[in-house]
Chain A
Amino acid sequence: MPVLRLPKFGKPVKYAYITGRVRAMKTKLIPAEMYPRMMSMEMAEIARYLEETQYKDEIDALSKDYSGTELIEHATFANLAKTFRKLAEVSIDEPAFLILEYLRRWDVWNIKTLLRGKHYGASETEIMKYLVPAGELSAEHLDELAKKETVQDIISAFDGTDYASALAQYDGKNLAPLENALDKLYYFRMERSVGGTLSVGGGLLLKYVRREIDIRNLITLFRMNKAGVDAAIIQENLIPGGKLHDELSRMAGQPFGEFLRGLEGYPFWSSISDIATADVDAISRIEARLKAYLIRYAWALSNYHPLSILPVLGYMVSKETEVANIRKIVRGKEAGLPAELIEEQVVVA
């Protein structure tokens, strides 16, 4: 892992401006009571409703390239990217640094998509369709990277950056170790950068980051333990850090029933206890519950210190959840999935 050099912010950090902006931006989010109504709407009605919200510009701009659910999905992602970039632009000093560190998850997403696209041999235009420039890497920079000929060319473009060590994991044929290394790097950076902040709310944000790492590791354990994967392989796929790393690491490779019994008593257990049984057929249901638990945890934290990074975190999580909720509803309705299945996946405050 690269040694992260934290910038020094000499004066006391002022969060009043950015939290004020976030409060204003929060009013534009789709209210919770709209989701049950959207569930009973026709697709055309949902599209019309979204045209009346902050997604209008993106829907109008992308309507020449996409239609139906594709349009809604791409428009919501485009709006998410625009909103997050705006958030990064209007913030300064420590908030800007922390916001950017959080948004690097989208850089990691984009790097992975670029590499996967090149690995597969997809065209530059195809790859660009699946990029979400919501992080530090701009759309122009991503466009340049998409024009590179090979996977190795893209990896070489990141020489000298913190990503280089993770990208060096590429063995010429398998992207999985590289992807895992990028994700581990992201969480390593997050934990280090949040841990380095001394301002109010920093401790709680660190708690959130650690819980996110624990939840991600827990989901990995659910997926791999259920599939009966060897402990050593599972442990390679766990993110270092988090509060429960050692305990979770010990659960790797355990028989599924024993693993479930070991989870009883943890704070997240109550959110999954009714469906986490040895004969569960779809881990995705448990994953949805755990992700919802994490989202609600972020929302709960966002109210602790109004003038800190926490309301910003709450907003970013809310925005990502909103985009995911819209997508789940429109995609679910288009595919004719049962309403209960869609409702189970939608996370509402």
Chain B
Amino acid sequence: MAVIRGTKPTRAVLIALKRRMKVAQTGHSLLKMKRDGLMIEFFEVLNKAKTVRKELVESLLKAEQRLHMAMAIEGTVAINSVAYSLQKEPAIQLESRNIMGVVVPKITADAVQKKMYERGYGIIGTSSAIDEAAESYETLVDKIILAAEVETALIRLVEDIDSTKRRVNALEFKVIPDIKDTIKFIGMALEEMERDNVVKLKMLKGKSQRRVAEEEAKKEAAKAAEAAARASA
């Protein structure tokens, strides 16, 4: 039996513990539901993350091949020159959303996918190999942003599932049994105290009855002595 240390076996503590027990049991069942819900959400996000990661790798390979192709066709000299004409870098906006109490990021980016005439270089003096490489890298950046969002959500979910699981286990195997034991202990202690009181009361009652009987005996004796004196006189 694991009793919570320093607990005083009083009725007030017992009431408080019973209240705590109720809260712990409600919390336990809620956290269990949250854990199960998070697990379902986790597997959904995991599947999405797997798909996104696969697409990311495919996009990366395609972008690399297209860049190498552009470098072969146009030369690094031309590619570097064209790369200098980049007008604006994509701006990332970070927001947050809530999945069952877990705050996960929502990443959006501006100006990633551009129309070919908005990339900053002249169309006439460049080639389609450059367009294709630029387009592939724009797609890749989009995939990276999506992967960052999904994978961060996955990590946050795992962390939250882990802490929820720990809480559920702590409640299930430590907090609730301890409270139960303590309640039992206090109950027993209180019963003991009650029995003790009954005995004490009984003893007191016997004592007072004996005192009353003695006093009555004394009174009877005094009365008898008075009657004997009156008779002798």
Contact = CB atoms under 8 A, between A and B. Distances in A.
B125 A229 contact: no
A210 to B, nearest CB: 16
A245 interface: no
Interface in B49-81: 64-65, 68-73, 75-77, 80-81
B115 A176 contact: no
Q: By CB atoms of chain A within 10 A, which of B65, B85, B119 has the most?
A: B85
B68 A223 contact: no
B122 A180 contact: yes
Interface string A310-349: 0000000000000010011001101101000110010000
A220 B129 CA distance: 12
Interface string A84-118: 00000000000000000000000011001100110
Question: Which bracket fits the contact residues of B?
Answer: 20 to 34
A227 interface: yes
Contacts of A224: 116-117, 123
Contacts of A229: 115-117
Contacts of B125: 108-109, 112, 179-180, 182-183
B132 A120 contact: no
A341 B129 CA distance: 13
B85 A120 contact: yes
Nearest to B76: A73
A216 B128 CA distance: 11
B120 interface: yes
B80 A130 contact: yes
B72 A173 contact: no
Contact of A335 (B71, B84, B122): B71
Contact of A180 (B75, B80, B124): B124
B84 A237 contact: no
Contacts of B122: 112, 175-180, 182-183
Q: By CB atoms of chain B within 10 A, which of A77, A122, A130, A177 has the most?
A: A130
A4 interface: no
Contact of B121 (A176, A227, A282, A327): A176
B151 interface: no
A179 B117 contact: no
Nearest to A282: B132
Contacts of A183: 122, 124-125
Contacts of B83: 120
The DSSP consensus for interface residues of chain B is helix
A110 to B, nearest CB: 9
Contact of A337 (B69, B86, B132): B69
A278 interface: no
Q: By CB atoms of chain B within 10 A, which of A112, A182, A288 has the most?
A: A112
B214 to A, nearest CB: 114
Q: By CB atoms of chain A within 10 A, which of B64, B80, B122, B124 has the most?
A: B124
A73 B84 contact: no
Given A116-B82, A119-B84, A183-B122, A342 B72 contact: yes
A70 B76 contact: yes
Q: By CB atoms of chain A within 10 A, which of B69, B75, B123, B131 has the most?
A: B123
B84 A332 contact: no
A219 B68 contact: no
B124 A284 contact: no
A294 interface: no
14 contacts: A73-B75, A74-B77, A77-B75, A112-B125, A116-B82, A130-B80, A132-B77, A175-B121, A220-B124, A223-B123, A283-B131, A284-B129, A324-B75, A335-B65
A184 B81 CA distance: 19
Contacts of B65: 335, 337
A219 B84 CA distance: 23
Q: By CB atoms of chain B within 10 A, which of A70, A179, A341 has the most?
A: A179
B87 interface: yes
A194 interface: no
B127 interface: yes
5 cross-chain pairs, A with B, having the tightest CB-CB distances, nearest first:
A179-B122, A335-B68, A116-B84, A331-B72, A120-B84
A233 interface: yes
A287 interface: yes
Given A77-B75, A183-B125, A233-B117, 8 more contacts: A117-B81, A174-B87, A179-B122, A180-B122, A219-B127, A237-B124, A327-B75, A335-B65
A288 B73 contact: yes
A124 to B, nearest CB: 13
Nearest to A217: B124
B85 A216 contact: no
A337 B70 CA distance: 11
A262 B49 CA distance: 45
Given A176-B120, A237-B117, A332 B85 contact: no
B72 A332 contact: yes
A283 B87 CA distance: 24
A291 to B, nearest CB: 9
A173 B118 CA distance: 12
A239 interface: yes
A222 interface: yes
